Amino acid sequence: MQKELYADSTKNRRTRAIPLPAMCIAPLRWRRFQQTKQREEAGREWEDTGYVFTTRTGRPIEPRNLSRSFERIGADAGLPRIRLHDTRHGCATILFAAGVAPRVVMEILGHSQIAVTMNVYTHVSEETRREALGHMDRLLKRRRKTG
């Protein structure tokens, strides 16, 4: 069985703009510069797919090759090994930890229903549980003093 790459729309068939952190702009500009050089070097072999990240001839990157490159870059940086898809989970975790509203996280991740975002990407940490219980403790102590 031969596998074939294909472009597909999102599950809900919506197109959307994805906001980028400012720290991503310079690397994306650098990528555009690299791709311009690759296009010139490839000449007639270049396939203009419109993708930002491509092979040296403009074709889509095979998913397995992308995963291997991601893992190699992480290892070279001394980071713990994670799967590329786990970065999506990491993004959601960072946004929730920063106090971003669940509806905003849902939009960034492209979910059509908040339940998916909340069920898949939220986890209650030990610190969060302690903080919640601390709030309850303070409220109950305050009520006991006034009552």
pTM of this prediction? 0.67
pLDDT range class, residue 12, cuts 50, 70, 90? low
Specify the pLDDT at position 79. Answer: 92
pLDDT at 144 over 90: no
Domain map of the chain by residue range?
Answer: 86-147
Percent helix, strand, coil in the chain, to 5, is 60, 0, 40
The 8-class DSSP code of residue 44 comes to G
Joined tokens for residue 50: 């419109």
Tell me the C-alpha distance between 136 and 120, whole Å.
Answer: 27
**Mean pLDDT within 121-133:** 79
Quick one: CA dihedral 61, 67, 69, 74, positive or negative?
Answer: positive
